[in-house]
Structure 1
Amino acid sequence: MSSEHKQSLPAITLAAIGVVYGDIGTSPLYTLRECLSGQFGFGVEQHSVFGFLSLIFWLLVLVVSLKYLSYVMRADNAGEGGILTLMSLAGRHTSDRMTSIVLIMGLIGGGFFYGEVVITPAMSVLSAMEGIEIAAPELDSYIVPLSVIVLTLLFAIQKHGTSSVGKLFAPVMLIWFLTLAVLGVRSIMDTPQVLQALNPVYAVRFFIEYKFISFFALGAVVLAITGVEALYADMGHFGKFPIRLAWFTVVLPSLVLNYFGQGALLLRNPEAIKNPFFLLAPDWALIPLLILATLATIIASQAVISGVFSLTRQAVRLGYLPPMRIVHTSDMESGQIYIPAINWLLYTAVVIVIVSFEHSGNLAAAYGIAVTGTMVLTSILSATVAVKNWHWHRYVVWLLLVAMLLIDIPLFLANVVKILSGGWLPLALGLIMFTIMTTWKSERFRLLRRLHEHGNSLDAMIVSLEKNQPVRVPGTAVYLSRATHVIPFALLHNLKHNKVLHERVVLLTMRTEAVPYVHNVQRVTVEQLSPTFWRVIANYGWRETPNVEEVFHRCWQEGLACQMMETSFFMSNESLTMGKRPWYLRVRGKVFMMLSRNALRAADQFEIPPNRLIELGIQVEI
């Protein structure tokens, strides 16, 4: 468990219920309604109700319980999970060509997550607000405006952090799941024969009876497991056991009881397909249930917003997105962060989606394609980890992979056919994010190669400067260097224009390791290159924020004492110009230049005091 402060197992399990299962826990609001709404030609009849209930139950068991909780969650990087973590693990012990394929799959999965995270808040909040149609039909026209207001408030409070609001998450979600269970049990008791749908035979019969049409219906069934990636992505916050315990003791039983309760209601009253979730409740409980559903969907939205903040930080630290301002909203928990740029871009996209689609039924067509696409990639990457990292027998892994893909691929293909009716949205968003991430990574590599192509030897230059010393001035000069054996441009330009050198020169390189955290013992490496030149390498994990004051403290422990007020930081500020390129590379270059202009400056990124910083401009053709 990643928390620095030990907590009891019940407390952590309760917290996992509140954060991890928000998205999948609100799926009963719309899943069965979308399955039987008539869009696939199914009537609300016993064989179709039993077929869908059996499919939903066995998807929850096979995909969530077995695939993710029992298998995929074994793949952790110092306790952390998520698609980029899986990408990092899978690429460690593969050939160069295979590593490139793994990177592409991981980045596509990351892009899919961004596409999903735009739809989840819109879908969840809209589906909760649609309870107004049952409680007060005359207020139907206020559903979209009220949804926008709720989400506006949610995104506005992100800058204050989730620590205080988070204390309410777990109790509210626990009440939510218990309410799901009670509503389901109440309905099942009136029609107990619905429990026959637990038998997988009904799922098989469903495919045999409806043949080709049943394949398209999988696009609606998959709504029951949206949010499954959160189980893996949030593993670092709570640990594996609490997440598994929460699922098997509270979440899975509550979801199954509610789905089967809705099925029992539909067997008694097919007209309830209008909104089977809210019609499960007695009339007196409609308003309290509407309020509780709204709170639950807000929490589900909060969970994915926090998830996209974490994914963005990981992508920034691994070099797939430009540096951006990351605000830590808690002194106790490093995972609680706020990224203003991402927050308001996400808010704008969500509002546009709500206003455009207007109804959760319309959004259901867009929902699922990103989730199932990520599921396919997770299966392939986890199989790679099993063979390369865990050294499992290849035939065993192949059998596991085939079993997983036999479920994942049909689910993905069933959602692909919804591209024209809304599925294009997450694909377009995912493609945009994939393009941005690959553009930043590749163009940044090209830029660094141009900066380092002068070929001057650092060791030779140091020997020359020690032998024929320029004018020396008191103090320490720290030159930020991206590579350890390359002369920093700022050092070359300082010597060229000012013709002076400080009495002590430190070449500082900040490195991001492919792990969440770096132990303090491995944080800083200090090497004396000559009587007046030092090399310092500071290592950070992708969940950590570099800080030069901390680096100085570690240097002091290693025998290199630096006083902040006696130190000047030198760095180069590149002005980019476009060279001759084919048109498609010119587009990538323009995107990179735009991202560079809006990227967080290194001084802010490493928390360098502004009054100690000197920037030297250079022009670079890309």
Structure 2
Amino acid sequence: MSQAVADSEDGSGQSGDRKVSAKVKLAVGAVGIVFGDIGTSPIYAFRETFVGPHPLTLDTLHLLGVVSLIFWAMTFVVSLQYVTVLMRADNNGQGGTLALVALISNKLGRSSYGWVAVMLGVFATALFYGDSMITPAISVLSAVEGLTTVEARLGEFVIPIALTLLIALFLLQRRGTTTIGKLFSPVMLTYFSVLAFLGIIHIVDHPAVLAALNPWYAVQFFMTDKTLGFLALGSVVLAVTGAEALYTDMGHFGRGPLRISWFGFVMPCLLLNYFGQAAMILNMEAAAAAEAIKNPFFVMAPDMYRLPLVLLATCATFIASQAVISGAFSVTQQAIQLGFVPRLSILHTSETEHGQIYIPFVNWVLMVAVILLVLTFRNSSNLASAYGIAVTGAMLIDTCLMAVLFIAVWKWRWWMAIPIAGVFFLVDGAFFGANLPKVPDGGWFPLLVGAIAFTFLTTWARGRKLMRERMSEVALPIEIFAKSARNSAIRVPGTAIFMASNTGGVPSALLHNIKHNKVLHERVVILTVQIAGKPFVDPSKRIEINEVGDGIFRMVMHYGFMEETDVPAALKGCEACGGMFDMMQTSFFLSRQTLLPSKNPGMSIWREKIFAWMLRNAATAMEFFRLPTNRVVELGSQVEI
């Protein structure tokens, strides 16, 4: 072997080592950010199958049957559906329901199937808001309830402590998670390790519990108690809540590191703990087991270590709640960019991490909802009834979208796509059906939140579409305007940028300016910002320019639905529009529309009133596009929809 070849191989080996090292670092980071929701499920999931709305007998049949169901639910839903299959469906590396909808819509276009896919995605997003309200409440409350296993008299302090922690969590959002986020991975790594250690201790005492890996125990459970077996699925599904977070956060960590974290660390730790809880109960006398099942997660620890376990679990639920709240901010930002939510004030909490954002309106709405949930439901068992319906509803929608993905995007043969999608649909449909009886006991809450959110999302999208159509109908073609303005307006120094929602016609602000001020700037740019159906746009293709003549330009800026629309930053690098842009010599003109009652409304009057209210309370284009406040002129116009 020559020296050159040897050096080449050494370099290749070092490069490969660096890649492996980077992937491992991402996998460790993912444990702290992504797996908090599913990681805190052992605190209440196993317990709820026995003390929930449909309690089960504490015998070998039911204990092994339940833990077998948990194992196979985790295998089918998390490992197969989300980690193995859906993670292959990335939109330029990004995951999540909205990214999946955008991917499908790009293929189906404006067909009826494309419209159905969009509506399904919007409803899944609406259900997510219900989930993001319940998750912090049930997670933190279930952890703090562990105090009663340390000292029963502490029960009266559970709700005040939980509320204090939750309020502090929401108040911290404005500061961002850059500093505290450094503790997430060490805390969650410790937490998962403790889960595994506690599970192993009890499995060693009763190793026969491992027989539940055999699906026959789950089948036997159903054969013996058909109705109770089906209803038990409503609590078993709590063990897989957070599966959608793996798919949603794929863009932050990549599918490789997430798969390493899940299969190599998180899943084994979770399963060891669930099997350990079952082994502990099986190893107890009937009276002791009946008491322990009220909080088996904390009873697993010896008395002297129970308080430290409560504190560790509380930290873990705090981190899980943080991840869900951050997810609500990210999903809202995507929904704004895709045109389903009006512009909201978005603040960046980190100078280095682009994805760390804070949306005040969403934060305060979530905080109020979480406080009301804790005060209304009072304990985590009651909240568990409200929890499952949102999660299973979103999973069922993901399965429907996955079936469309197989056929429309991946072009699978129907004889292969239908059986695979059918299996997942059967599993997710069973979980959803098992949660329907919980609707009167609390399941109505996420459905109500989902219905309200869906109404607002679709009303804004529909109203925005109608308003643009009405404005396009009366818009003056740019070529005609340029000819008429040539001799009718005085040209003044500087640059005027007129923001326009459409790429055709003259924006009303430009017409009003020339009508009232009788002047036209030396350089006039009609700027439209378009959001693509993909997360990111190549910066080299950010700006598209068309020169109309007489110093008038039509400019289109392209952004992905996960990018920040910073117009001044994009203009700094633009020279192909009559020279560089000097912000001190540039004025931005905005149109603010006021809705008028229409004789032939394009949608129901009540929806039109909701849209008008949303339009009035939306953040201004100045905030959304990060325009310099001292260089903005706003002109009003009226429109009927």
**TM-score interval (norm. to shorter):** over 0.9
Mapped to 2, the partners of 1:533 and 1:413 lie a distance apart of: 60
Amino acid at match of 2:412: W
Mapped to 2, the partners of 1:429 and 1:403 lie a distance apart of: 29
User: 2:427 matched to 1:407?
Assistant: yes
Q: Which one is further off, 390-399 or 261-270?
A: 390-399
1:543/1:253 CA distance change after superposition, 3 Å: same
The question of whether the paired residues in 2 share the 8 Å contact of 1:478 and 1:505 is answered with yes
Residue correspondence of structure 1 range 193-204 to structure 2 within 5 A: 193-204=208-219
Residue 83 of structure 1 corresponds to: 97
1:40 Cα deviation after fit: 2.1
Residue 244 of structure 2 corresponds to: 229
Aligned pair count reads 617
Residue 534 of structure 2 corresponds to: 515
1:574 maps to which of 593, 601, 604: 593
1:349 maps to which of 335, 353, 369: 369
User: 2:240 matched to 1:220?
Assistant: no
Amino acid at match of 2:333: R
Residue 12 of structure 2 corresponds to: none
1:233 Cα deviation after fit: 0.5
Normalising by the residue count of structure 1, what TM-score does the alignment of the two structures yield?
0.97
SS at match of 1:570: strand
Alpha-carbon RMSD: 1.6
1:259 maps to which of 271, 274, 293: 274
Mapped to 2, the partners of 1:358 and 1:133 lie a distance apart of: 14
SS at match of 2:174: helix
Q: Which one is further off, 233-242 or 531-540?
A: 531-540
SS at match of 2:474: coil
User: 2:478 matched to 1:458?
Assistant: yes
User: 2:85 matched to 1:66?
Assistant: no
1:559 Cα deviation after fit: 5.4
Mapped to 2, the partners of 1:124 and 1:41 lie a distance apart of: 21
Mapped to 2, the partners of 1:168 and 1:315 lie a distance apart of: 30
Q: Which one is further off, 278-287 or 387-396?
A: 387-396
The question of whether the paired residues in 1 share the 8 Å contact of 2:529 and 2:558 is answered with yes
Normalising by the residue count of structure 2, what TM-score does the alignment of the two structures yield?
0.94
1:312 Cα deviation after fit: 0.3
1:615/1:17 CA distance change after superposition, 3 Å: same
Residue 394 of structure 1 corresponds to: 414
Amino acid at match of 2:559: Y
Residue 550 of structure 1 corresponds to: 569
User: 2:311 matched to 1:297?
Assistant: no
Mapped to 1, the partners of 2:393 and 2:139 lie a distance apart of: 20
Mapped to 1, the partners of 2:52 and 2:623 lie a distance apart of: 55
1:7 Cα deviation after fit: 7.3
**CA offset digits 1:416-473 (Å, max 9, x no partner):** 111001000000011111111001000111112222221522222223333x342211
2:582 maps to which of 563, 578, 581: 563
The question of whether the paired residues in 2 share the 8 Å contact of 1:524 and 1:554 is answered with no
Residue 479 of structure 1 corresponds to: 498
The question of whether the paired residues in 2 share the 8 Å contact of 1:526 and 1:555 is answered with no
Residue 8 of structure 1 corresponds to: 22
1:488/1:558 CA distance change after superposition, 3 Å: closer
Mapped to 2, the partners of 1:353 and 1:367 lie a distance apart of: 11
Please list every run of 5 or more consecutive structure 2 residues that lacks an aligned counterpart in the other structure: 1-18
Residue 441 of structure 1 corresponds to: 461
SS at match of 1:92: helix
Mapped to 1, the partners of 2:602 and 2:514 lie a distance apart of: 38
1:111/1:210 CA distance change after superposition, 3 Å: same
1:248 Cα deviation after fit: 0.8
Mapped to 1, the partners of 2:61 and 2:325 lie a distance apart of: 39
SS at match of 1:295: helix
Residue 405 of structure 2 corresponds to: 385
1:164 Cα deviation after fit: 1.1
Mapped to 2, the partners of 1:48 and 1:75 lie a distance apart of: 37
Q: Which one is further off, 529-538 or 140-149?
A: 529-538
Q: Which one is further off, 455-464 or 99-108?
A: 455-464
SS at match of 2:591: strand
1:320/1:536 CA distance change after superposition, 3 Å: same
Amino acid at match of 2:120: M
User: 2:308 matched to 1:288?
Assistant: yes
Q: Which one is further off, 314-323 or 389-398?
A: 389-398
Mapped to 2, the partners of 1:509 and 1:319 lie a distance apart of: 14
Amino acid at match of 2:395: M
1:390 Cα deviation after fit: 1.9
Mapped to 2, the partners of 1:108 and 1:15 lie a distance apart of: 31
1:184 maps to which of 187, 196, 199: 199
Mapped to 1, the partners of 2:540 and 2:42 lie a distance apart of: 49
Residue 589 of structure 1 corresponds to: 608
The question of whether the paired residues in 2 share the 8 Å contact of 1:90 and 1:382 is answered with no
Mapped to 1, the partners of 2:331 and 2:59 lie a distance apart of: 43
Residue 445 of structure 2 corresponds to: 425
User: 2:137 matched to 1:115?
Assistant: no
**CA offset digits 1:5-48 (Å, max 9, x no partner):** 99722221111011111000000001111111164242100000
**CA offset digits 1:173-219 (Å, max 9, x no partner):** 01000000000000111111111111100011111110122111110
SS at match of 2:386: coil
The percent of aligned pairs where both chains have the same amino acid is 45
1:481/1:583 CA distance change after superposition, 3 Å: closer
The question of whether the paired residues in 2 share the 8 Å contact of 1:334 and 1:543 is answered with no
Mapped to 2, the partners of 1:403 and 1:266 lie a distance apart of: 33
Residue 339 of structure 1 corresponds to: 359
User: 2:241 matched to 1:241?
Assistant: no
SS at match of 1:353: helix
Amino acid at match of 2:219: V
The question of whether the paired residues in 1 share the 8 Å contact of 2:143 and 2:313 is answered with yes
2:337 maps to which of 317, 320, 331: 317
